[in-house]
């Protein structure tokens, strides 16, 4: 069995640290997947109700808190 190189171990630790860090915002496809809906549904029905961040113009980041707010508001509507 070969010992791992220090560089490989450092890279592995970095990947683990990044995975453990909570995400504050998601891309549109990630946000759609997090809600369990298609990207088309997300763009048509969910995105118009969200506040988003547009760093650099084209890219769209959806704050996780916005998704949580949207879920809470829409869940309340279906229970009434």
Q: Residue 31 CB: number of other CB atoms within 10 A?
A: 25
**Radius of gyration (Cα) for the chain, nearest Å?**
18
- pLDDT the model gives residue 59: 92
Cα separation, 66 vs 72, whole angstroms? 10
Would the pTM count as exceeding 0.75? Answer: no
With vertex at residue 68, the alpha carbon angle to CA 49 and CA 24, rounded to the nearest 5 degrees, is 100
Domains of the chain: 23-79 (1.10.10)
Greatest CA span in the chain, whole angstroms? 62
- Pair 25, 65: CB distance under 8 Å: no
Express each pLDDT in 1-37 by its tens digit: 556 788 887 887 777 776 777 889 999 999 999 999 9
């Amino acid at each position: 069995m070969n010992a791992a190189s220090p560089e490989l171990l450092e890279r592995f630790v970095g990947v683990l640290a990044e995975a453990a860090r909570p995400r504050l915002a998601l891309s549109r496809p990630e946000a759609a997947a997090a809600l369990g809906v298609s990207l088309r549904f997300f763009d048509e029905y969910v995105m118009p109700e969200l506040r988003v961040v547009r760093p650099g113009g084209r890219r769209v980041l959806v704050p996780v808190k916005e998704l949580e707010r949207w879920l809470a508001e829409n869940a309340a509507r279906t229970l009434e």
